[in-house]
């Protein structure tokens, strides 16, 4: 008996590090994929010893093994969209860029993970060039947060206008769409909620157009995993056929809802995915 296409789940892929604390990395991606009706597959780039407070160790997987994971997953499943997260080294980035081209993965979301929430480097300094030259040009969209965008543009960003210019500069420089996440922007005079509190703003640059998305800021103590979840939502939505504009809008509202519905687990409050 043949399977009905009505029962077919979109298959998506995350190429990322493992977060032993379960709040970020490929563990967060899989939760998001499942919540949005996609079948998640994984390629592990690094094993980390971490929890929401700290990263105590990082052990990279060999570039050859990373590439072989991608090939094997793509041989077994029709991957509709993929995302990258923590890649750690230039060698892993180069292997990922090459195998993505080899496997013909077209819808690629690049989350340029550089530093953990606790301040530990998750991308070696000498790997930034490889990220910029080898991988970002293969993306359909990149999702830098404020500190990552500042690395990419080479200067500080402190206002909504500068956020817009940076998204445009990055997008035009690499020929990709760019959504610049403004959660780190402490205050934005042009985007306030009805109660007068600053909203979180995210700026999407796509083919000469700049759009600003805003959502009321959720007052929380922990934001561990929000960047991973944001990019994972975009990946899942693209796999289901959504436009970039719709995918970014849904990513913003999904993360806000996940923050608002977070529950205590011991002393931490993981995302309510």
Q: Quick check: 252 pLDDT over 80?
A: yes
User: Is the separation of the CB atoms in 100 and 69 below 8 Å?
Assistant: no
Catalytic residue selected from 48, 117, 226, 235: 226
Question: 10-260 — its CATH code?
Answer: 3.40.1190.20
Q: Quick check: 100 pLDDT over 50?
A: yes
Q: pLDDT per residue over 143-197, tens digit each?
A: 999 989 999 999 999 899 999 999 999 999 999 999 999 887 764 444 444 444 5
Q: Which residues contact 267 (CB under 8 A, 6 or more apart)?
A: none
Distances (CA, A) of 175 to 90, 161, 170: 21, 21, 8
Angle between helices 244-260 and 226-239 (to 10 degrees): 140
- 227 annotated active-site: yes
Please give the average per-residue pLDDT across 219-245, as a whole number.
Answer: 93
How far, in Å, CA of 228 to CA of 32, rounded?
9
- 225 annotated active-site: yes
- 226 annotated active-site: yes
What is the number of residues in the chain?
273
Please give the average per-residue pLDDT across 238-263, as a whole number.
Answer: 95
Q: Quick check: 199 pLDDT over 90?
A: no
Catalytic residue selected from 223, 235, 241, 267: 223
- 228 annotated active-site: yes
Domain boundaries, the chain: 10-260
- 196 annotated active-site: no
Of 207-216, 237-246, 256-265, give the range with the top mean pLDDT.
237-246
- 37 annotated active-site: no
Catalytic residue selected from 17, 23, 171, 225: 225
């Amino acid at each position: 008996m043949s399977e009905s296409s009505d029962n077919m789940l979109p298959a998506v892929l995350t190429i990322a590090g493992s977060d032993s604390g379960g709040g970020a990395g490929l563990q967060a991606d899989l939760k998001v994929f499942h919540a949005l009706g996609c079948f998640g597959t994984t390629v592990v780039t690094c094993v980390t010893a971490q929890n929401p407070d700290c990263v105590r160790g990082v052990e990279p997987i060999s570039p050859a093994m990373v590439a072989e994971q991608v090939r094997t997953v793509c041989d077994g499943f029709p991957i509709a969209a993929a995302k990258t997260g923590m890649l750690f080294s230039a060698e892993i980035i180069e292997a990922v860029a090459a195998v993505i081209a080899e496997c013909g993965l077209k819808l690629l979301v690049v989350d340029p993970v550089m530093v953990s929430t606790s301040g530990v480097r998750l991308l070696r300094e000498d790997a930034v060039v490889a990220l910029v030259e080898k991988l970002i040009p293969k993306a359909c969209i990149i999702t830098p947060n404020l500190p990552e965008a500042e690395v990419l543009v080479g200067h500080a960003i402190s206002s909504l206008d500068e956020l817009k210019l940076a998204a445009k500069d990055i997008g035009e420089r690499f020929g990709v769409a760019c959504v610049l996440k403004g959660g780190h922007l402490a205050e934005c005079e042009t985007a306030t909620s009805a109660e007068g509190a600053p909203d979180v703003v995210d700026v999407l640059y796509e083919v000469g157009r700049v759009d600003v998305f805003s959502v009321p800021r959720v007052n929380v103590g922990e934001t561990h995993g929000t960047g991973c979840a944001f990019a994972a939502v975009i990946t899942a939505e693209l796999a289901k056929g959504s436009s970039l504009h719709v995918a970014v809008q849904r990513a913003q509202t999904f993360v806000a809802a996940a923050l608002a519905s977070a529950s205590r687990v011991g002393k931490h409050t993981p995302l309510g995915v």
